[in-house]
């Protein structure tokens, strides 16, 4: 993966550019320490509230049932351990790299290659969280009568790591290969011109149950936005990386133009998405005809097979599409 830092004028949140093996570039705005601190505080408050509710429930159980105090105390310690250690792991694994605090502050954890994190990433970065809190300060700093318990984090290790890394990674992020990004994304719409009628025709053959992942949708949108500025030979080369597995998945002919397929996917996802619902969608058999040209006449219940783009001269359709951007562009 190729990483770059853009927007060097911003000393807190830099923009990283990630180039995938398919030569598709993604831009992410890295979340700095001041962007991540509110999420940390929100998650801390949520854990405290959750633990307080559990203590209240245990208290009611102790009054209503013949349960010994030692059992309730042990259950309380286990509940505190589970909330403190597994809160972040479970949420980040099953909630697209976000905890409630990250969701509210619009940040997200992703791997350094731009992919969603898994349970391994979430476990490593959360188990090293206490190392990022070091060194700890005793409660005695507030009062001489306070117990000598070192439980106040200073976050010095975390801040030093963020300062010396280009993607503001704390120690847990470095070990897990993750980074935290700003997840505030909007689509800026503009005039869409799909002058090649074969784009809309081919989109009718895409299986009705096909759903794009967010990564694939963004890759196709970026490709469509930039394709007019890419030489035709290079355009077909780039499109083939994304289109090749989709052609097999859709059971399309191998000589179907990858450029045309990506344009059809873009058309279905961003231009006429509402027309492609399970309720209203008509799906004809997949195109496997020997003749790439459409039949001269079709019945009203049939959709003709669009001609395939097999020559560079035919693949230069004009597209003007929305681009992905953000107020704090999209870990």
pLDDT tens by residue, 91-112: 999 998 999 999 999 999 999 8
C-beta of residue 133 within 8 angstroms of C-beta of residue 157: yes
Q: Report the pLDDT value the prediction gives residue 176, as an integer from 0 to 100.
A: 94
Which parts of the chain are beta strand (E)? 2-6, 15-19, 25-29, 107-111, 136-138, 150-153, 178-182, 186-188, 323-325
What pLDDT is recorded for position 312? 39
Low-confidence ranges of the chain (pLDDT < 50): 1-13, 186-192, 274-331
Name the one residue in this structure whose structure tokens are 């002919």.
253
91 with 99: CB under 8 angstroms? Answer: yes
Neighbour count for residue 142 (Cβ, 10 Å): 10
CB hemisphere CA count around 246 (13 angstroms): 25
Comparing CA positions, the residue from 137, 138, 114, 127 lying closest to residue 170 is 127
Packing angle, helices 214-226 and 232-250, rounded to 10:
150
Q: What per-residue confidence (pLDDT) applies to 274?
A: 46
Q: Which of 264, 276, 278, 281 is nearest to 315 (CA)?
A: 264
Contact between 233 and 171 under an 8 Å Cβ cutoff? The reply is no
101: three-class secondary structure by DSSP: helix
C-alpha distance from residue 204 to each of 100, 141, 200, 302 (Å): 39, 69, 7, 11
pTM to 2 decimal places: 0.55
Rounded Cα distance between 320 and 169, Å, is 37
Distance of alpha carbon 51 from alpha carbon 278, whole angstroms: 43
For residues 228 and 268, what is the distance between their CA atoms, to the nearest angstrom?
19
What does the domain layout of the chain look like in residue ranges?
2-182, 189-290+302-324
pLDDT computed for residue 36 by the predictor: 92
How many C-beta neighbours within 10 Å does residue 321 have?
Answer: 24
The greatest distance separating any two alpha carbons of the chain, rounded to the nearest whole angstrom, comes to 93
* CB atoms inside a 10 Å sphere around CB 217: 16
Q: Return the bridge partners of 19, or none.
A: 2, 25
């Amino acid at each position: 993966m190729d990483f770059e830092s853009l927007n060097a004028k911003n000393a807190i949140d830099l923009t990283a550019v990630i180039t995938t093996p398919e030569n598709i570039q993604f831009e992410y705005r890295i979340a700095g320490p001041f962007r991540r601190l509110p999420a940390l505080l929100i998650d801390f408050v949520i854990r405290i509230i959750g633990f307080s509710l559990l203590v209240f429930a245990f208290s009611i159980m102790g009054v209503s049932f013949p349960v010994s105090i030692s059992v309730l105390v042990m259950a309380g310690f286990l509940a505190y351990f589970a909330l403190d250690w597994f809160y972040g792991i479970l949420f980040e694994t099953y909630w697209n790299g976000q905890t409630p605090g990250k969701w509210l502050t619009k940040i997200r954890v992703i791997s350094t290659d731009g992919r969603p994190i898994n349970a391994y990433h979430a476990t490593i970065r959360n188990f090293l969280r206490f190392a990022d809190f070091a060194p700890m300060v005793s409660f005695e700093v507030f009062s001489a009568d306070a117990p000598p318990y070192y439980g106040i984090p200073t976050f010095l290790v975390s801040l030093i790591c963020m300062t010396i890394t280009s993607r503001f990674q704390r120690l847990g992020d470095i070990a897990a290969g993750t980074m935290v990004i700003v997840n505030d994304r909007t689509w800026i719409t503009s005039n869409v011109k799909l002058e090649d009628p074969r784009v809309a025709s081919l989109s009718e053959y895409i299986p009705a149950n096909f759903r794009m992942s967010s990564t694939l949708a963004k890759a196709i949108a970026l490709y469509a936005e930039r394709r007019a500025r890419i030489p035709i030979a290079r355009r077909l080369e780039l499109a083939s990386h994304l289109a090749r597995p989709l052609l097999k998945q859709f059971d399309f002919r191998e000589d179907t133009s990858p450029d045309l397929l990506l344009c059809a996917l873009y058309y279905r996802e961003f231009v006429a998405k509402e027309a492609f619902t399970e309720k209203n969608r008509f799906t004809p058999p997949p195109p496997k005809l020997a003749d790439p040209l459409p039949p001269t006449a079709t019945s009203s219940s049939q959709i003709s097979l669009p001609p395939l783009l097999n020559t560079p001269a035919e693949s230069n359709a004009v597209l003007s599409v929305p681009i992905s951007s953000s107020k704090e562009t999209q870990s």
